[in-house]
Structure 1
Amino acid sequence: MFDFLVATLTIAGIYGLMALGLNLQAGVSGLLNFGHIAFAGIGAYGTGIAIQAGWSPAAGAACGVLAAMLLGAGIARLGRQLGSDYWGIATLAIAEILRTIATNEDWLTGGANGIAGLPSLFDGLERPFSALAFLAVVLAVLAVFALLARRLANGRFGRALRLMREEPQLAVCMGYDLRQLKSHAIMAGAAVTALGGSLYAHYMSFAGPDYMVASETFLLWTMVMIGGLGNTAGVLVGVVLVQAAYALVPFAKDYFHFSSDLAGALRLGLIGAILLACLLWRSQGLVPEKLRKIP
Structure 2
Amino acid sequence: MFEFSLHVATIAALYGLLALSLNLQTGFAGLVNFGQIALFGCGTYGAALAFNNQFGPVVGLLLGLVLVSLVALFFARLGRSLGSDYWGIATLAIGQILLTIATNETWLTGGAQGISGLPQLFTGSTRLQGHLILFSVTLALLAATWWLFHRLTQSKFGLSLRLMREEPQFAASLGYDLDGLRRSAMLVAAVPAALSGFLFAHYMTFVGPDQLFSTETFVVWTMVVIGGLGSHAGVVVGAILTQMLFAAVPFAKDFFALPSEYVAAMRLTLIGGGLLGFLLLRPQGLIPEKVGSIRG
Question: TM-score band (shorter)?
Answer: over 0.9
Query: Are residue 88 (structure 1) and residue 118 (structure 2) matched?
Result: no
**2:79 is matched by which residue type in structure 1?**
G
Query: Distance between the aligned counterparts of 2:205 and 2:190, measured in 1?
Result: 22
1:5 to 2:42 alignment: no
CA distance in 2, matches of 1:62, 1:146: 22
Query: Could you say what secondary structure the match of 1:250 adopts?
Result: helix
What SS does structure 1 have at the residue aligned with 2:183? Answer: helix
Q: Which residue of 2 aligns with 1:284?
A: 284
CA distance in 1, matches of 2:129, 2:267: 30
Question: Structure 2: which 5+ residue stretches go unaligned?
Answer: none
**52-61 or 108-117: which moved more?**
52-61
TM-score normalised over the length of structure 1: 0.95
**One-letter identity of the residue aligned with 2:188:** A
Does the CA contact (< 8 Å) of 1:40 and 1:211 recur in 2?
no
Alignment of 1:197-208 (within 5 A): 197-208=197-208
Alignment pair present for 1:258 and 2:258: yes
User: What's the TM-score, normalizing by structure 2?
Assistant: 0.95
- 2:37: which partner in 1? 37
Kindly provide the CA deviation profile for residues 215-241 of structure 1, in whole angstroms up to 9, marking residues without a partner as x. 001111111011001110010011011
Runs of 4+ in 1 over 4 A off after TM superposition: none
Change over 3 Å in CA distance of 1:220–1:207 after alignment to 2: same
Partner of 2:46: 46
Contact 2:222 2:274 in 1 (8 A): no
Distance in 2 of aligned mates of 1:140 and 1:27: 23
Distance 1:139 1:88, change over 3 A: same
In the aligned structure 2, how far is the partner of 1:72 from the partner of 1:218? Answer: 18
Query: Identity percentage over the alignment?
Result: 54
Counterpart Cα distance in 2 of 1:34 and 1:125: 41
| Aligned counterpart, 1:214 | 214
Tell me which residue corresponds to 2:233: 233
Query: In the alignment, residue 164 of structure 2 is paired with which amino acid?
Result: M
Counterpart AA for 2:55: W
Match for residue 185 of structure 2? Answer: 185
Q: CA deviation at 1:262?
A: 2.5
Give the aligned partner of residue 242 of structure 1. Answer: 242
| C-alpha distance 96-270 of structure 1, shift in aligned 2 (>3 A) | closer
**Aligned-CA RMSD value:** 1.6
Alignment length, in residue pairs?
294
Q: Is the 8 A contact 1:27 1:229 kept in 2?
A: yes
Question: In 2, are the aligned partners of 1:245 and 1:271 still within 8 Å (CA)?
Answer: no
Please give the alpha-carbon distance, in whole angstroms, between the structure 2 residues aligned to 1:198 and 1:260: 30
Native 8 Å contact 1:34 1:88 kept in 2: yes
| Alpha-carbon distance, 1:207 to partner | 1.4
Give CA deviations for 1:19-60 in whole Å, capped at 9, x if unaligned.
111111111111111111001111111111112333321331
1:68 to 2:68 alignment: yes
1:202 & 1:100 partners in 2: Cα distance? 23
AA partner of residue 289 (structure 1): E
CA contact (8 A) 2:123 2:129 kept: no
In the aligned structure 1, how far is the partner of 2:248 from the partner of 2:270?
A: 10
* Counterpart contact for 1:47–1:63, Cα < 8 Å: yes
Structure 1, gaps ≥5 residues long: none
Kindly provide the amino acid, as one letter, of the partner of residue 217 in structure 2.
Answer: T
Separation (CA, whole Å) in 1 of partners of 2:51 and 2:213:
23
Maintained 8 Å contact 2:228/2:235: yes
